[in-house]
Chains A and B, each alone.
Chain A
Amino acid sequence: MTVRLDGTTAAQVASAISEERFRQGSSAVGRVLTLVIIADEATQADAVHAAARAAREHPCRILTAIPRPGHGPAQLDAEITVGGSDGLGELAVLRLRGPLAHHVESVVLPLLVPDAPVVVWWPGTCPSTPALDPVGALAQRRITDSAENSRPLHLLQALADGYVNGDTDLAWTRITPWRALLASALDEPYDEITSVVVHAPKTNPSAVLLVSWLLGCLKVPVTIKASKGPGITGVDIHTVRGDIIVSRPDGRIAAIARPGMPDREAALPRRSIESLIAEELRRLDPDDIYGEVLERFAAGVTAAANASDPGSGKKPTSKRSGATSSSSSTPVKK
């Protein structure tokens, strides 16, 4: 059942949640975390839907904050749903009007589940330094989605500059199945790798992170070859004795060819937002690998910029491991 409270306060929202919870006869459920979604009216419905489905795996309190700045007076309107047939935990959609739109944290703070982790997710536009955002600062984990921003590669670079433990981006989460498939390909015996080519649209943020990851692990040149998508369409691993070719032209099934072995196929579907969020909520510890991948990506971009513009006076940072080899793969828009 949904309760509507217009012109309310955080305290009233909190008591409405626990009243509703009590009315349903379960005063203590195992909410393991609070998920704060900061969205606009256009993105909130899909985000809440995905989060609610992911919440079946991780029962949580979902607070959706929709800042609606404007000339009117400060006002908080809330819609509260507790329980429900889809196994949803607790959901509050909070609309913050007028000057209140700039003080989301003041409403969110009193509504956090006590002594449980906080995760913030920006399904659309996000701050370029999430950890400095007032709500982001409350959280153990900050989820951005660079692919949903207008200039994803620029954003990734800004995220790299402001990276702190607990930051994560869904562009990285999207490639977990790709990384798993490539890792399992190298579980089998293989020859010395000379270079790798990733096929993807040039500005695909997932592809540049995959490049950065491969570069750091394999220490060989890794480049992007432009393709039309959808998403990453293939990865070619060149070895001294033939190539391991993984191609996924249709976004569904990957074909794997390697020297001396029969061709194989594996289902490798593009992922739903729901499964991305479920994966993010599964582990709340810092993702060191992501931090390194992001740092290496940003270093590569800087190095490339310096290489193409030697008069800029900046000191090249190409000393960082392997950064120069990715220079051709990371276009910089000026």
Chain B
Amino acid sequence: MRTQIWTPTGNPLRDERDRRLPRIAGPCSLVIFGVTGDLARKKLMPAVYDLANRGLLPPAFALVGFARRDWADQDFAQIVHDSVREHARTEFREDVWNELSKGIRFVMGDFSDNEAFDTLARTVEDLDRVRGTRGNHAFYLSIPPKFFGPVVEQLERSGLSASHNDAWRRVVIEKPFGHDLESARELNDTIGKVFSSGSVFRIDHYLGKETVQNLLALRFANTMFEPIWNANYVDHVQITMAEDIGIGGRAGYYDGIGAARDVIQNHLLQLLALAAMEEPLSFDARDVRIEKEKVLTAIKLPSDLAAHTSRGQYAAGWQGGVQVDGYLQEDGISPTSQTETFAAIKLEIDTRRWAGVPFYLRTGKRLGRRVTELAVVFKRAPHLPFSETDTEELGQNAFVVRVQPDEGVTMRFGSKVPGTQMEVRDVNMDFAYGDSFTESSPEAYERLILDVLLGDPPLFPRHEEVELGWKVLDPILDFWAEQGQPDQYQSGTWGPQSAYDMIARDGRSWRRP
């Protein structure tokens, strides 16, 4: 007889060779603070429905909303229903919705309102009794970071943060995780007083994206990339996250934060870590984290920050056929605001693998188009047995991972132009995720919420990584704070002149993604 391999829980019906059985979360509830926000309506609640529709939520599941509105359970259920109808990825099925809606509850209150949290505690206990959620509850703080402290204290005071026996309590927070190293530590202390580090899930939804996970598969499951993935062959790496939109209605959040804190500190440094790290011993959360922390620790800043960083603010202009305001004219923004909406920095990594290979990171709003990509640009061939005119149109080979949109991978290399002459020109070879594995790709939030409920941490950055990110960024932010107004760039372009100058100093140029 073949040997049976049981899962650690000892469930005799689970066998790790049984790849058909999905991972279904155990009995639990998800309590969302800030249910009236955009994120909750457009992403979280639809993701919960999509999970239910895919059969990945347990029959004993409950969804609790907490907000200041004067709503009854049915009113909130209606809000969830509408957001599911509008934003869910999978088709709407009445049966699934009916089951889900039976576990929907709403608690009205303020974050300073003791009574509201006591009501919440009673609601949650009631769910244990009525729905059988067995004391397992996750608290999703979809609220501005300044409220994290008060809410977490309330959770402790009302006894919501304490679990009994095998039950768990988890807390989920969204970036930004502080605005510098010091505040990140304070935030961590505040939450750490109430929840153990294993119960805190920091969501960086980029890490839930299939392409980001695929980066590890590409690198470590194949033989053809890894041998050239080092300073011997790589000239430099460009990581770009560009948005075509402005700040929209997020003036209150964005002003004073800026592009570097909003994007570089988390998304781009995480992408850099995944692209640059050594092979982990395994894909266990711990092993991957160790490698990411090593590479983040090895990051070296340029000594001349003025020459190798750039920051900008979008000015009025035409973007994609629409006339748009500049940042300083946006509602709620002071006309003297020094917040950057574009940031570009050059980093180096002090390891043998990456010695002398610069990593250029840039992000901005109101740029040419919406795109996130990681481009590894290779060195030119050391010797070209062609005449100079033959290879005039040959650029550098490149390997580009497109994170969004059109998730996929592009390789750029030289090819002979058909004809009697020897002429070599760049061509692209493309792998589009959507072509090879369409539609099955779940939304990042589906994956992340399920992982929270399962208690599976690999895709969540740990506090140590957050701190390392701030250690990289803090000196740059301090330097920028003394430089006055950021450079203006016209909306719909690829950033200020200083960004072009900064990379041109190294004899390189930005890709037009």
Contact = CB atoms under 8 A, between A and B. Distances in A.
Interface of A: 28-30, 32, 56-59, 87, 173, 176-177, 179-184, 186-189, 214, 217-219, 252-254, 256, 261-262, 264-267, 269, 278-279, 282-283, 285, 287-289, 292, 321
Interface stretch (B219-227, B342-350, B429-437): B429-437
Interface stretch (B11-19, B187-195, B372-380, B391-399): B11-19
A87 B440 CA distance: 14
B14 A59 contact: no
B20 A176 contact: yes
B129 A183 contact: no
17 contacts: A57-B438, A57-B439, A58-B437, A173-B20, A181-B59, A182-B13, A183-B14, A254-B59, A262-B129, A264-B59, A264-B60, A265-B102, A267-B99, A269-B95, A279-B20, A283-B20, A292-B2
Nearest to B20: A176
Interface in B111-146: 129-132, 134
B12 A180 contact: no
Contacts of B26: 184, 187-188
Interface string B54-89: 010011100000000000000000000000000000
Interface residues of B, number: 43
B27 interface: yes
A289 B18 contact: yes
Interface in B336-368: none
A56 B439 contact: yes
Contacts of B384: none
Contacts of B98: 267
Q: Across chains A and B, which 7 residue pairs bring their CB atoms closest together, nearest first?
A: A30-B436, A30-B435, A264-B59, A266-B59, A183-B13, A267-B95, A261-B132
A261 B439 CA distance: 37
Interface in B278-325: none
Main secondary structure of the interface of B (DSSP, over half): loop
Contact of B21 (A183, A256, A267, A292): A183
Contacts of A181: 59
B385 interface: no
B11 A183 contact: yes
B14 to A, nearest CB: 6
Nearest to A219: B12
A84 to B, nearest CB: 14
A218 B15 CA distance: 12
A95 to B, nearest CB: 29
Given A264-B131, A267-B95, A32 B19 contact: no
Nearest to B10: A186
A61 to B, nearest CB: 13
A256 B24 CA distance: 16
B435 A289 contact: no
Contacts of A57: 437-440
Given A179-B21, A261-B132, A262-B132, A187 B59 contact: no
Contacts of A279: 20
Contacts of A218: 12-13
Given A176-B20, A177-B55, A180-B55, A187 B11 contact: yes
Contacts of A186: 11-14
B9 A187 contact: yes
A87 B99 CA distance: 32
Nearest to A175: B20
Contacts of B27: 188
B130 A180 contact: no
B22 interface: yes
A279 B19 CA distance: 11
Contact of A29 (B24, B134, B435, B437): B435
A217 B1 contact: no
Contacts of B440: 57, 278, 282
Nearest to A260: B132
B17 A30 contact: no
B96 interface: yes
Contact of A184 (B52, B58, B437): B58
Contacts of B96: 267
A29 B438 CA distance: 12
B99 A253 contact: yes
Interface string B82-112: 0000000000010110110010000000000
B437 to A, nearest CB: 7
Interface in B1-47: 1-2, 9, 11-15, 17-22, 24, 26-27
Interface in B409-448: 430-432, 435-440
Contact of B20 (A58, A214, A266, A287): A287
A283 B93 CA distance: 26
Nearest to B52: A267
Taking each of B13, B93, B98, which has the highest tally of chain A beta carbons within 10 Å of its own beta carbon? B13
A266 B99 contact: yes
